[in-house]
């Protein structure tokens, strides 16, 4: 596994992971400052999002359709 110094911009990506204590501190700080907090489910946003460009996908193995390429109406 490569260390962070060998990562190249635009090629190597990793998801940031936060500790639950950090999230609790941020929520407490927002509460003290009377900020409004909104919850959002990012996975569902990507799954249910509308596509703005035409995207085509090759037919998956085992899928019985008369065509080999499909035009996607929703994101996967």
Residue 13 reports pLDDT greater than 70 = no
Q: Quick one: which H or E segment has residue 57?
A: strand 56-58
Residue 63 forms part of a structural domain? yes
Instruction: Say if 2 falls within a structural domain.
Output: no
Q: What is the pLDDT of residue 52?
A: 83
Task: Please check whether residue 4 lies inside any domain of the structure.
Answer: no
User: For 14-57, how does the pLDDT look when each residue is reduced to its tens digit (9 = 90+)?
Assistant: 667 778 899 899 999 999 999 998 887 666 666 667 788 888 88
Q: Does 3 fall in a domain?
A: no
- Give how many domains the chain has, as a whole number: 1
Question: Which DSSP state fits 35?
Answer: -
Q: What span, in angstroms and rounded, lies between the C-alpha atoms of 37 and 28?
A: 11
Residue 58: which domain range?
Answer: 9-71
Residue 1 within any structural domain of the chain? no
Residue 46 in domain: yes
Q: Is residue 69 within 8 Å of residue 58, measured between CB atoms? A: yes
Q: Is residue 18 part of a domain?
A: yes
């Amino acid at each position: 596994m490569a260390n962070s110094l060998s990562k190249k911009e635009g090629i190597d990506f990793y998801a940031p992971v936060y500790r639950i204590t950090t999230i609790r501190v941020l929520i407490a700080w927002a509460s003290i400052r009377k900020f409004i907090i909104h919850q959002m489910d990012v996975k569902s946003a990507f799954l249910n999002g509308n596509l703005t460009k035409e995207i085509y996908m090759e037919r998956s193995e085992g899928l019985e359709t008369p065509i080999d390429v499909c035009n996607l109406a929703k994101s996967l």
